[in-house]
Structure 1
Amino acid sequence: MAVVVDAMLQSLTQQVFTALQEHARFALDFKDQFELMKTRLDLTKALLADTENLKEKKKVVKAILISLRDLIYEADNIMTDCLVRDEYQKEASCTSLTLKKPLFWYQTGKKLKDVNAKLGEMEKSLGEHLKYQDQSDHGDNTAQSMKYTAQDYVPSEIIGLEEDLKRLKGWIGDTKDELLLVGIVGMGGLGKTTFAQKIFNDQHVAGRYDNMIWVSVSQVSSDMRIMRSMLEQLESHCSVSDEAQMLHKLNELLKGKTCLIVMDDVWKINQGWWNQFFSGLQSAVGESSCIIITTRNEEVLTSMGVDKSRVHRPKLLTANDSWLLFSKSAFSRCRDRKCPDAQFERVGKELLEKCGGLPLAIKAIAALLAPRSNSVRQWNEINENFHELTAGRNFNSVMASLQLSYDELPIHLKQCLLCFSVYPEDSEIQAEQLVHWWVAEGLIQGKGSKTAKELGFRYLSELVTRCLVEAVNRRGYDGRVYCCKMHDMVRELTTRIAEEESFGKFDEQGKQEMTANSRWLGFTSEMNPEPLKKSSKLRALLIMSTNDQVVFGRHFGLLGSLRVLDFSLTKLEKISTEELVEWISSLKRLAYLNLSGIVGLKEVPYSFRKLRNLQFLVFAGRNDLGKIDQITSLKKLVVLDLGSCFHYLPSGIERLSYLQELSGFKVASSSRSAASCKFCDLEKLVHLRVLRMSIGKDSEITENEREVLLKLKKLKVLAIDAQDCEDNIISTMLNILSPPPSLQELYLRRYHQGTLPTWINPERLSKLQYICIENGEIIDFQTSPLSVDGRDFPWNIEGLCFKVLRNLKLDWKNVEKDMPSLQYAEVSGCLNLINFPHPLDKLATWRKSED
């Protein structure tokens, strides 16, 4: 229950601290109460850290945590209202608000005192229960954890993965290394341990080694326990107890001998101990020795020094292989061990679809069905009640395995994972939508030089690495996730936990239901909107599908706590945009608004000026958005995505001083009215990290604007669309540009000149990691180092994309030779490119590992 409470506490504490430090108007008005709140929030964070150690929380502690989260949300609402009002008061024109100040002061002061009093009471109650927590609880927790991690070392069937097993044996058999490291990584239930067991119990493999050691590490093992387990397998009695003595004894027993060590289910590793242990083994053991490590977290393998070429990732089983594995167990009591008839096959295959190719799930459900292999009726009952059965004892091994993966997550990843619960089964989810949601609700804050959004993408990659989320589409050169999905069984885990933590309610089929206490909601056309009128606690609303008869405002009511509103997953063509706009404008705490699915919206209305807390505004993909003058009133914007808007940005863009990402910026000419934003206005957006702009026939960049981009010292991504203009003026304007050396990614599209802008070279762009050139007429791309004043500047590019460049003349062998850092390339429609190792009539990819 402390999961999202902790996230909100971090955000709220930081906001209070900043307000006090910067002497914000409202903080001075309520200085004593805000100082008291900060003190109590700090204490609450410490108490929450203690509750995370209690795997089985008493009901009273859970109840306190539920109430505490509600109180934190209430405090967050007060803080947001103060920040919004502060923005209004900065505008001298808002005189009517000044007249209402005494009432606001009285109401806010009363609310703050009430929140602080309740915080004090809850801290006292929580502290008492933690103080008197019985020690036996901890013993039970350990037993519970050990119960789930204990392995049954009976050799299992490997179905459909024989070639993978052969490949792993090949790695071991062919090695001449003194000590080979092999990693097996994947989500719980995917068969990692089974793979390791097959190798460990293989007679040919065992014949290669003098010593065979298996250590079940799990998440509760200490360094001492791991070494003691190894020593006990090498000699019957282990008399040493000191860590240094154990290391010495291990090296002594293994000296000059070959060994195979399996470290199964490694969750994390003490890096200092591992370096010392591995270094000692390297000098002690004989040639061709091997350590196999199984884990759910690929970062564990990296920290232990496993080479990427020696990492195996078991895949989900195909439908045919799933049936083979299922049949081995489900029909073990039938004549000839075969499926009795077509009815059993039909039901069995329906159940297999729900297992999604996960071996552990398949084995568990098959074991459940095997005693009932003479009754189709019972099979049908199990099929119909699948979701209920997964929580039962017979299917507990699968969910327990996934629960362990969840329990091991740090809090910041737990809170992000639970958000997946609102998406329907098998949904493909856009990564950017998720990250915007996480940041807007305060689940992620920026840290150091990293923005909150940058950290959000990193957190998503961590969830993929831990095999709890599946990457559907990711960038080739660095693995950044663009689109993802969740295995059905992991989703079942998230819906169960989300319901326990009161973020939403779900029926037996895993579909979300609306309640007055829901915090997150994925609204679909199957839902009745009426209950939303009473959902005052709702913080995130994703419109996934609805009909044009739903009237926003009249049906949805005033959702006063809403921070996230996203229409990108639907398409609404005939709704009343006037009523929609009026309703949205009333959501004054809104932080993220995505209007991509609203087809009839033609302008950013005047009433949007009220959305003073808005940080993310997205119109991506639209091409009919007209008047957008009011955007510059939204001073807290961090991300502004206008998509393919036809209109120029209004003047006053410099007011958006927090802006980190701007997409859809059209460069205007000086001859346009003073009401249009000019290229030179960008230089005041000093926090800008991403700029996507278009230059057309009506654009103008003058010599005086040469250093505009150079002043954007934090800029990392620059995308330029030349709009198919063949005029030489475009080339002249682009040559004037001078991007900052911080640039890491460059995209150039529809550029119809034979040569690239002069600044696209390794001296000017020394930190460039990725370049993408599409639909252009360029003839040459200089891959060799640039020589300037006797110094050579080579490219440091890691990723490359060339698409539809019919005139490009390039030898791929020169690219590989001249660009030593290049790891990945995408190429298509470049028919004059020679020596590329793949056909170029369709999109082809190259990776350095191919060599």
Structure 2
Amino acid sequence: MAEAMIEVLVEQLIEALKKHGEYMLEFRSQFSDMKAHLDLMKSFLVDAYKLKRKEETVKTTLSMLRELVYDAEDILTDCLLRAEYRKEGFHLNNFSPRELIFQYRTGKKLKNINERIEKMQKILKSYFKTIGQQSVHDDCGSIGKRWTSPVYDESTIVGLTEDTKKIIGWILPENRILHRVGIVGMGGLGKTTITQKIFNNRQVVDRFDKRIWVSLSQNFNEEEIMRTMLKQLGEDVNGLDMAQMLPKIKQALENRNYLIVFDDVWSAEGWWDRIRAGLPKREGKSSGIIITTRIENVATEIGVEKARIHQPRILNEEESWALFCKIAFASDEEAQQHSELEEVGKDIVKKCGGLPLAIKTIGGLLKSKTQSTEVWRRICTNFHDVVATRESGSSVMASLQLSYDELPIRLKQCLLCFSMYPEDSEIWAEQLARWWVGEGFVEGKGSRTAMELAFDYLSELISRCLVEVVQQRGYDGRVYSCKMHDLVRDLTIKIAREEAFCNFDEQGRQGLSAQSRRLSFTCEIDVKALNRKSKLRTMLIMTSSPIQLNRNTGLFTIKSLRVLDFSQNRMENISMDDLLNWISSLERLAYLNLRGVSALKELPYSIGRLRNLQLLVLSGCNNLQKLPSSIIALQKLTVLDIGYCPIQQIPQGIVRLSNLQELSGFKLVGSANKDACRLRELQNLFQLRILRINICDESEIEEEELTVLLRLKQLKVLSINAEGCEKEDIFQKLDRLSPPPHLEELYLRHYHGTFLPQWMNPESLCHLQYLCIENGDLNSLGPSFEGTNGTTWKVEGLCLKFLARLHAEWEMVQRVMPRIRYVEVSHCYMLKSFPCNIDKLGVWRK
């Protein structure tokens, strides 16, 4: 498998050499030789990919090539940074000792790399000439852990009617104080799906006052269980210790009929007895416990009677085919149109062994393929090569392995990133996308930015059933957060270990060595293994627990990082000066996320040294008062996020950030603030796609600034937030703004005008797809909202929240927005005839 990752790295390096070769004047010949060598090496990688079992010669050579490519990329990055300084007018003396040392060392490294590539070419050429194209089956490995979730899609379920009916019949009667039910079976068999159907069944919802879903993992602890339960009961868990939680749970459930699901239980030891003792059990109140597990003894330890243990069966051929069609075809009509695929499709489904997860995975794979018999036969043939017997428990892993093999190269390394997140993690899509961009896994192409493509990549992984959606936007399905099924995660860990993407032991726990390239930092990681020779490229903080970092920590000697994300930890117990001094020394750093770090009060001037920085995220740093003037030296920045920070101003000169695509938290200032960036400076940020503006009482908009937004031809998302602003003059100016021509999403918050601004009409916003208006004093949407001469909106999604004074007719909204298909309304009491509940949150779908 290792050659897949190497192929990606080689391709990326070749593209970088093509793109940036003109800047490395001193080393042009060495880089030219490197590109030529790598172009030849690609043919050997194709041969290596065809081998099912790698001899040690090939394994060793490919491993060496991977390390070589990483080293070459480091040198290329350093040379590009040197070139950046020259472009900016820094006159580096070619004869200074420092510059001579750099040129000598770099030239020596490049010569060494080219010699190593030539040596590898000779080894592989000789090897493939000797053995030809042999093919030996690999062992697919053992089945891994399964991810579970209470969220489900009814439309993709086949069968299970009798299963759910039987179990619902067990828990509905009120003849017991506490029903206990176990659902036991192998991974991928549908235990969680059955439980989801039960949990959301109308009779069950009506029967139980409180329903709680607890998804466990092999490394769960009692505190996590109780916190999950309290949160779902609507209780505040902040500041509670272990001794306080259980009584609070008991109090919340007292005199209630409750149903608790403990999903994916691996052991009852150490937690169940205490949890059980704290659950209220009263005569006349009949509650229920459902557990799902792969181990029957766990169910009996929890007190489930043998007669109340349900073991799901595998799907029969008819059910398997029906489930496959739901996934592989967009509709029944499409399935009928491709009847020629039925025979080969049924052969594929038969090899899934009746396991729902395997069927869904292979169906997701084929959904993205051309609907041709030849392509499907090829998939069927490959599946036969790698599929293992169902009895061994590895047929699911075989289908997942095939899904990985069939991924486009660009998606393989993106998928491997999921291996670094802890089991059962809810992963924020934006963090994931920024990581991919920061490490260079995704680059902009044509009119599409790297961030836009990163979200496209995530959507593709989801469509292939390799990633699960947790939260998404209603109107267009934009993913907010996602999860990975444990089996798929096990697969990514297996491959990540093989390809040295990051270090894992045989139990799937992440380790750390001098050769580690990526690390998800938890409290279990020993940072002593880190030193100045470390090759670490990415570090993600994956724990909210306090961590000990200081200038004597090995971490602070690392200089090779591209990605550094502290967003999961508030970093309250470390020296910010030491941390920031270290960060400022990371010249290769491309993505820095310090979101929510409350100890951060000021960025140092030295942050301007990070000339390779592309994404800087500081949102939610509630004590960050100012940005240094050196911020404008970061000319590679594409994302600057300072939303929800009390920053008083952005320094003048932001126009130098000509690559900026996203600017969040831009504060409009007044003319009295001479050193601050004004709105007019934004007009030359021609790459800007996303702009979020904050307005306060000190804000001013000058006459010549009213047309600034009109000049931002690439702007797609605009957010204007006037929270805390009562200045009437500002709202008069906002009413006269000229909107960007191709705006797709518009958010207006805390607007205190009587009517919407005049420019919010279907003629001026003729490309708008989503409109969100929240927290304002609007009395009416205004006459301009309805358009003129029969012009209507192209808006498909609408959100109206906390607009208590807004008088409007739902029929009018539908008339002027004929394409509307998704609407959220909350606390808009004067909106007449809206068909859903508006006291809390009403959601209407066409």
- CA gap of 1:760–1:522, structure 2 versus 1, over 3 A, is same
- CA gap of 1:766–1:163, structure 2 versus 1, over 3 A, is farther
Q: Is the 8 A contact 1:726 1:751 kept in 2?
A: no
Give the SS at the match of 1:747: strand
Q: Is the 8 A contact 1:691 1:717 kept in 2?
A: yes
Deviations 1:203-245 (A, max 9, x none): xxxxxxxxxx9xx99xxxxxxxx9999789xxxxxxxxxxxxx
Q: Is the 8 A contact 1:13 1:41 kept in 2?
A: yes
In structure 1, which of residues 519, 522, 529 is the aligned counterpart of residue 520 of structure 2?
Answer: 522
In structure 1, which of residues 444, 465, 469 is the aligned counterpart of residue 463 of structure 2?
Answer: 465
- CA gap of 1:48–1:506, structure 2 versus 1, over 3 A, is same
- CA gap of 1:784–1:596, structure 2 versus 1, over 3 A, is closer
1:507 shift after superposition = 3.7
In structure 2, which of residues 416, 429, 432 is the aligned counterpart of residue 431 of structure 1?
Answer: 429
Tell me which amino acid in the other structure corresponds to 1:66.
Answer: S
Aligned to 1:705: 705
Q: Is the 8 A contact 1:715 1:742 kept in 2?
A: yes
Alignment of 1:11-160 (within 5 A): 11-20=12-21, 23-24=22-23, 27-92=24-89, 99=96, 100-137=98-135, 158-159=159-160
Alignment of 1:339-358 (within 5 A): none
The whole-number CA distance in structure 1 between the counterparts of 2:11 and 2:520 is: 26
Q: Does residue 822 of the first structure (1) align with residue 845 of the second (2)?
A: no
Q: Is the 8 A contact 2:760 2:785 kept in 1?
A: no
The whole-number CA distance in structure 1 between the counterparts of 2:552 and 2:615 is: 21
Alignment of 1:765-776 (within 5 A): 765-776=765-776
Q: Is the 8 A contact 1:8 1:442 kept in 2?
A: no
Aligned to 1:736: 736
- CA gap of 1:508–1:61, structure 2 versus 1, over 3 A, is closer
Aligned to 1:2: 3
Tell me which amino acid in the other structure corresponds to 2:723.
Answer: Q
- CA gap of 1:54–1:197, structure 2 versus 1, over 3 A, is same
Tell me which amino acid in the other structure corresponds to 2:62.
Answer: L
Aligned to 2:500: 502
Alignment of 1:235-254 (within 5 A): none
1:707 shift after superposition = 2.2
1:446 shift after superposition = 1.4
1:549 shift after superposition = 3.4
Aligned to 1:844: 842
Aligned to 1:421: 419
Give the SS at the match of 1:525: coil
Q: Is the 8 A contact 1:196 1:262 kept in 2?
A: no
Q: Does residue 807 of the first structure (1) align with residue 808 of the second (2)?
A: no
Give the SS at the match of 2:778: coil
The whole-number CA distance in structure 1 between the counterparts of 2:140 and 2:594 is: 47
Q: Is the 8 A contact 1:504 1:521 kept in 2?
A: yes
1:128 shift after superposition = 4.2
The whole-number CA distance in structure 1 between the counterparts of 2:340 and 2:836 is: 52
Structure 2 gaps of 5+ residues are 142-156, 166-186, 194-312, 330-337, 352-358, 372-386
Q: Is the 8 A contact 1:505 1:514 kept in 2?
A: yes
Deviations 1:506-548 (A, max 9, x none): 3454321112211111111122211122661111101123535
Alignment of 1:680-695 (within 5 A): 680-695=680-695
Q: Is the 8 A contact 1:11 1:445 kept in 2?
A: no
Q: Is the 8 A contact 2:361 2:466 kept in 1?
A: no
Deviations 1:723-750 (A, max 9, x none): 2323321222212322222111111111
1:157 shift after superposition = 11
Tell me which amino acid in the other structure corresponds to 1:2.
Answer: E
Alignment of 1:241-640 (within 5 A): 265=349, 296=362, 301=367, 394-533=392-531, 536-545=534-543, 547-551=546-550, 554-629=553-628, 630-640=630-640
**Identity over the aligned pairs, expressed in percent?**
47
Tell me which amino acid in the other structure corresponds to 2:664.
Answer: S
1:819 shift after superposition = 2.0
Deviations 1:624-680 (A, max 9, x none): 11231221121111111112222210001011111111111101222211x210110
The whole-number CA distance in structure 2 between the counterparts of 1:801 and 1:745 is: 11
Deviations 1:596-630 (A, max 9, x none): 24321111101212211111111111221123122
Tell me which amino acid in the other structure corresponds to 2:711.
Answer: K
Deviations 1:102-159 (A, max 9, x none): 2222221222222222222223433444455544517x58x999xxxxxxxxxx9954
Deviations 1:165-206 (A, max 9, x none): xxxxxxxxxxxxxxxxxxxxxx9766999667345899xxxx
Higher mean alpha-carbon deviation, 114-123 vs 94-103, is at: 94-103
Give the SS at the match of 1:450: coil
Aligned to 1:197: 317
- CA gap of 1:56–1:742, structure 2 versus 1, over 3 A, is farther
Q: Is the 8 A contact 2:527 2:553 kept in 1?
A: no
Aligned to 1:645: 645
- CA gap of 1:785–1:623, structure 2 versus 1, over 3 A, is closer
The whole-number CA distance in structure 2 between the counterparts of 1:426 and 1:69 is: 31
Give the SS at the match of 2:124: helix
Q: Is the 8 A contact 1:703 1:736 kept in 2?
A: no
- CA gap of 1:47–1:297, structure 2 versus 1, over 3 A, is farther
Q: Is the 8 A contact 2:597 2:620 kept in 1?
A: no
Q: Is the 8 A contact 1:517 1:535 kept in 2?
A: no
TM-score with structure 2 setting the length:
0.71
The whole-number CA distance in structure 1 between the counterparts of 2:130 and 2:189 is: 37
The whole-number CA distance in structure 2 between the counterparts of 1:514 and 1:110 is: 29
Aligned to 1:719: 719
Tell me which amino acid in the other structure corresponds to 1:781.
Answer: L
The whole-number CA distance in structure 1 between the counterparts of 2:819 and 2:162 is: 34
Q: Count residues in correspondence.
A: 653
Q: CA RMSD in A?
A: 3.6
- CA gap of 1:31–1:672, structure 2 versus 1, over 3 A, is same
- CA gap of 1:699–1:396, structure 2 versus 1, over 3 A, is same
The whole-number CA distance in structure 1 between the counterparts of 2:521 and 2:94 is: 35
- CA gap of 1:719–1:43, structure 2 versus 1, over 3 A, is farther
The whole-number CA distance in structure 1 between the counterparts of 2:115 and 2:36 is: 12
- CA gap of 1:85–1:304, structure 2 versus 1, over 3 A, is closer
Q: Is the 8 A contact 2:523 2:547 kept in 1?
A: no
Higher mean alpha-carbon deviation, 494-503 vs 563-572, is at: 494-503
Aligned to 2:750: 750
1:555 shift after superposition = 3.5
- CA gap of 1:201–1:495, structure 2 versus 1, over 3 A, is closer
Higher mean alpha-carbon deviation, 412-421 vs 548-557, is at: 548-557
Deviations 1:410-432 (A, max 9, x none): 22221111111111111111111
The whole-number CA distance in structure 1 between the counterparts of 2:730 and 2:52 is: 63
The whole-number CA distance in structure 1 between the counterparts of 2:77 and 2:340 is: 55
The whole-number CA distance in structure 1 between the counterparts of 2:513 and 2:162 is: 45
1:43 shift after superposition = 3.1
1:787 shift after superposition = 5.2
- CA gap of 1:785–1:536, structure 2 versus 1, over 3 A, is same
Give the SS at the match of 1:773: strand
The whole-number CA distance in structure 2 between the counterparts of 1:765 and 1:553 is: 56
Q: Is the 8 A contact 2:140 2:398 kept in 1?
A: no
1:92 shift after superposition = 4.2
Give the SS at the match of 2:735: helix
The whole-number CA distance in structure 1 between the counterparts of 2:80 and 2:496 is: 30
The whole-number CA distance in structure 2 between the counterparts of 1:577 and 1:772 is: 38
The whole-number CA distance in structure 1 between the counterparts of 2:792 and 2:472 is: 27
Structure 1 gaps of 5+ residues are 146-155, 165-186, 203-212, 218-225, 233-260, 268-292, 306-363, 365-389
Aligned to 1:321: none
1:573 shift after superposition = 1.2
1:63 shift after superposition = 2.2
1:266 shift after superposition = 12
The whole-number CA distance in structure 2 between the counterparts of 1:71 and 1:715 is: 41
Give the SS at the match of 1:415: helix
1:694 shift after superposition = 0.7
Give the SS at the match of 2:394: helix
